[in-house]
Chains A and B, each alone.
Chain A
Amino acid sequence: MALTVECAQCHDHKYDPISQKDYYQLFGFFNSSKEQGFEGDVSISKPAKTPVLVLNDEDVKSLVSFINKKDTGQLTVSVMGEADTPRTTYILKRGVYDQHGEVVQAAGLKSVMDFDTTRFPRNRLGLAKWTVNKENPVTARAFVNQLWAEFFGKGIVATTGDFGMQGNLPTHPELLDWLAVDFMDNNWDIKKLIKKIVLSATYRQSSRISAKHRNTDPENTYLSRFPRVREKAEFIRDIVLGSSGLLVKTIGGPSVKPYQPKGIWEAATSGRGVLAVYEQDHGEALYRRGLYTFIKLTAPPPGMIMFDASNRDQCEVRRLNTTTPLQALAMMNDPLVLEASRVFAQQLFTKNSSIDQKIQLAFRSIICRTPTNKQLNILSDYYQEQVKQFSSKKLDAGKTLNVGEYAQDERANKNELAALMKVIVTIYNMEEAITKT
């Protein structure tokens, strides 16, 4: 809802009209779920906490046909059943778990919209209906703003997680309202909303800056040009795999364990449990999209964390966007980038084209525009220098190419292949490669 409700866990909110009572009334909806709490031996990992819903192939065919179920066998999902006898909910004085105060009943935030019990039952279904009710002023706005921020790097309200007094005002209030209403009118269709955003003239603008921009909208508050944003961790992986042709486009299925530096899990483990040792996958599993990468909570994939991915400790409405030397090291030395560059080079050599054409094609696939003449010259000089280095055995082409598990092309000229691979690594390391421009 883009409100800092959690501030009211211990005291009334200091800035927004959210009382401590409001907090515990909202909590009341979740206080009667059937969760079990402690479930015994921590060394036995289970796929989901109880209560669980078990789905087999037949259920998917008949009942929940919208699920894309790739796993073989049963699918176990945690659910939140309602307890037969609801638990009493108290205001906890100063948020302390054993300091009971006034008894409260479940209700939505009054300052957002009255929780009318003649229309909404006091359970999670009621809360859901209240949340997506057309008169609820925040849900749709918060959601379209969140999606807007995904595409433009910044929301129409810059503080995506805080529409309260401490947040920013919208830069384009009418647009926010229009998008929110349109979203609801279209039955909360997310795909439609995304289409609307990405097909807009605003989204399709260039990032080039002109004198007019400098004078009238220097900070780009009004989106007079496309704001340059670094891509998110998962998308960086997708871009590298996608542009090189390595990406396996399968949707859904169990998480995968791609290349990861040695010892990440092993150094931090207590030695117990099934996740003490990292067992890397092979074949297609190495080339799936970033969102399928397996996340061990206590030792998340380092490449992702370096690029500001969440460690899943807490919900994040907005990720950081930073530039660090470790990111530079990862882009230059991660086998993911090196292998993608090799495979891309292999493919380019199967085409009957000049070397400049090959470089141009690689550049276009990765940067999404043609290189300037100067840039093409830089890269093609680099290629020639590299070919010389490899031919004179100053550098070892065999070793350079020996990265990743994807099949090598044994027929190609190794020196030329390695040189083009390094040109492509360089293109991947350009700032624009992982920055939306």
Chain B
Amino acid sequence: MEKEVLEHQLHINRRRFLTRVGMGLGGAALGSLLIPDLFGGKNIEEQVMTGLPHFAPKAKRVIYLFQNGAPSQLDLFDYKPMLQTMQGQDLPASIRMGQRLTGMTADQKQFPLACSAFQFEQYGQQRVWMSELLPYTSKIADELCVIKSMHTEAINHDPALTFFQTGAQVGNRPSMGSWLSYGLGSENKNLPAFCVLLSKGKGNGQGVYSKLWTNGFLDSVHQGVQFSSGENPVLYLNNPDGIDKADRRAMLDKLAALNEESNKSFEDPEMTSKIQQYEMAYRMQTAVPEVTDLSNEPEDIIKLYGAECMVPGTYAANCLLARKLSESGVRFIQLYHQGWDGHNNLPEELKGQCKDTDQASAALITDLKQRGLLDETLVIWGGEFGRTNYCQGTLTKENYGRDHHPRCFTIWMAGGGVKPGVYGETDEFGYNIVSNPVHVNDFHATALHLMGLDHEKLTFKHLGRRYRLTDVAGKVVSSIIA
């Protein structure tokens, strides 16, 4: 939508420029000030923004299924038979290697290894290990690029989430979706480029924070727009009681006339942009209810995502909504599902979490594929860090808890030019990475690359330096690109 505004302003300015050329040098100077690149005087931000994308993109859109709280990789993907044989024994210091711990287990006298309570099997031609908690995801194993060697620097939720979303542990940098909106704009004039959907599981939860979808120092048009399940899917979207669509149209026409009359004395391009934003708001009032209305979905789709997808605000409903938004051209859709923070009572909680998410996550992939959209949509599933191989609290055969573990965890990606398969490996304790580590910065660099963006070139100058999503690090993991 920003592009639309810019184009319109440029159009107006060009016209204005041409009419003024006849007025002599002063007019020409005005023209060049209004269109800075007209005489080749490009500033750095304009240079950044020209020539985007940097190369042919593999993916056009992203759906990021964020599992907020950090799911246990050891109970879902990273199968470690060694933990079974060493169940209850102390984590060797040679493996821990001085890793800092959270305040929740730092005072523990022992770190008894805890094997998973769940059965593992290999699935698909890729022979991907998955536990019995993922009966649906295991069926789409061959679509997935499972990265077992993710690692991060943060050890608590807030900094870790913020790091994953914005490339920095402490706040106010633009979110990944904002960077993509800034770099690539929107494909749909009637919907925001960056949408956010929230849902809650029954497990131990951690909050989410609106700073996770902040535009930071970028223009607010790149801010993530939170969709909610209430009667107003987007804040202030609905006309108040007593006002209908025709009435709104009449008001907007009057408003535009009033503004145009005022602008005769100001000639302020901001006024044009304002009128356009009101028009976009009007179009959103139609487009958003249309796209969020799930009531016309056919029976087979409801079956695919599970009956819960008809209950607004559930993870399943959000997955279905994400598909619809993505299909409508929304650049970046960010889901958050709370409840994965299994410090205690992990097996029971994890069962519930998987029951709420497994079917819909897999359905989203299947659904995108059957619509021919998977190739151009990058789907990402994962949390902010992993969980420890040792038990937090009392270990019994059936019950255990796991603390936060930043050194290795598993995420998966699908579609969008990603090569299916398993990437990276952890040691037999599931504590350290032994091959192909992927840092959060690398993850960002790779995601941007798939979208046709060079993470070193997508910059924004702020407070005296050029910022990037990957800050000063990050390497594209080319092995996982198809």
Q: List residues of chain A with CB under 8 Å of any chain B CB.
A: 4, 7, 14-15, 38, 161-162, 164, 166-167, 207-209, 214-215, 218-219, 228, 230, 261-263, 267-271, 297-300, 302, 305-306, 308, 311, 313-314, 320, 322-330, 332-335, 338, 372, 374-375, 378-379, 382, 385, 389, 395-403, 418, 422, 425-426, 429-432, 435, 437
Contact of A263 among B29, B215, B230, B266 (CB under 8 A): B230
Contact of B277 among A162, A325, A338 (CB under 8 A): A325
Interface-lining segment among B119-127, B242-250, B389-397, B411-419: B242-250
The number of A-B residue pairs with CB atoms under 8 Å apart is 201
Interface-lining segment among B255-263, B293-301, B430-438, B447-455: B255-263
**How far in angstroms is the closest Cβ of chain A from B373?**
26
**How far in angstroms is the closest Cβ of chain A from B165?**
13
> Is there contact, CB below 8 Å, between A311 and B172?
yes
Give the contacts of B180-226 with A (CB-CB under 8 A).
Answer: 192, 198, 200, 205-211, 214-215, 217, 219-221, 223, 225-226
> Is there contact, CB below 8 Å, between A261 and B236?
yes
- Give A354 to B91 CA distance when docked, in angstroms: 85
Instruction: Name the residue of chain A whose CB is nearest to the CB of B208.
Output: A268
> Is there contact, CB below 8 Å, between A314 and B172?
yes
Given A262-B230, A314-B171, A324-B277, residue A267 in contact with residue B240 (CB < 8 A): no
> Is there contact, CB below 8 Å, between A263 and B228?
yes
> Is there contact, CB below 8 Å, between A426 and B258?
yes
- Give A399 to B240 CA distance when docked, in angstroms: 9
> Is there contact, CB below 8 Å, between A426 and B255?
yes
**How far in angstroms is the closest Cβ of chain A from B291?**
15
- Give A422 to B463 CA distance when docked, in angstroms: 43
Which residues of the partner chain B approach A328 to less than 8 Å between Cβ atoms?
Answer: 274, 277-278, 280-281
Q: List residues of chain B with CB under 8 Å of any chain A CB.
A: 1, 26, 29-30, 33, 103, 170-172, 192, 198, 200, 205-211, 214-215, 217, 219-221, 223, 225-226, 228, 230, 232, 234-244, 247-248, 250-251, 254-255, 257-259, 261-263, 265-268, 270-271, 273-275, 277-278, 280-281, 284-285, 338, 463-465
Given A269-B207, A311-B210, A314-B171, residue A378 in contact with residue B465 (CB < 8 A): no
**How far in angstroms is the closest Cβ of chain B from A307?**
8
**How far in angstroms is the closest Cβ of chain B from A132?**
24
> Is there contact, CB below 8 Å, between A209 and B265?
yes
**How far in angstroms is the closest Cβ of chain B from A214?**
6
Which residues of the partner chain B approach A327 to less than 8 Å between Cβ atoms?
Answer: 277
Which residues of the partner chain A approach B209 to less than 8 Å between Cβ atoms?
Answer: 268, 297-299
Which residues of the partner chain B approach A422 to less than 8 Å between Cβ atoms?
Answer: 251
Which residues of the partner chain B approach A38 to less than 8 Å between Cβ atoms?
Answer: 103
Which residues of the partner chain A approach B198 to less than 8 Å between Cβ atoms?
Answer: 267-268
- Give A308 to B30 CA distance when docked, in angstroms: 30
> Is there contact, CB below 8 Å, between A214 and B26?
yes
Which residues of the partner chain A approach B255 to less than 8 Å between Cβ atoms?
Answer: 426, 429-430
> Is there contact, CB below 8 Å, between A167 and B464?
yes
Looking at B33, B236, B247, the one whose CB has the most chain A CB atoms below 10 A away is: B236
> Is there contact, CB below 8 Å, between A329 and B237?
yes
> Is there contact, CB below 8 Å, between B284 and A325?
yes
Which residues of the partner chain B approach A228 to less than 8 Å between Cβ atoms?
Answer: 266, 268, 270
Contact of B236 among A329, A374, A395, A429 (CB under 8 A): A329
> Is there contact, CB below 8 Å, between B261 and A403?
no
| A–B pairs, 7, beta carbons within 8 Å | A270-B338, A298-B209, A308-B220, A322-B221, A374-B261, A379-B254, A430-B255
> Is there contact, CB below 8 Å, between B205 and A271?
yes
> Is there contact, CB below 8 Å, between A270 and B206?
yes
Which residues of the partner chain A approach B265 to less than 8 Å between Cβ atoms?
Answer: 207-209
> Is there contact, CB below 8 Å, between B221 and A324?
yes
**How far in angstroms is the closest Cβ of chain B from A100?**
17
> Is there contact, CB below 8 Å, between B251 and A426?
yes
Which residues of the partner chain A approach B236 to less than 8 Å between Cβ atoms?
Answer: 261, 326, 329-330, 332-334
Looking at B214, B248, B278, the one whose CB has the most chain A CB atoms below 10 A away is: B278
Which residues of the partner chain B approach A314 to less than 8 Å between Cβ atoms?
Answer: 170-172
Which residues of the partner chain B approach A401 to less than 8 Å between Cβ atoms?
Answer: 242
- Give A396 to B239 CA distance when docked, in angstroms: 13
> Is there contact, CB below 8 Å, between A219 and B33?
yes
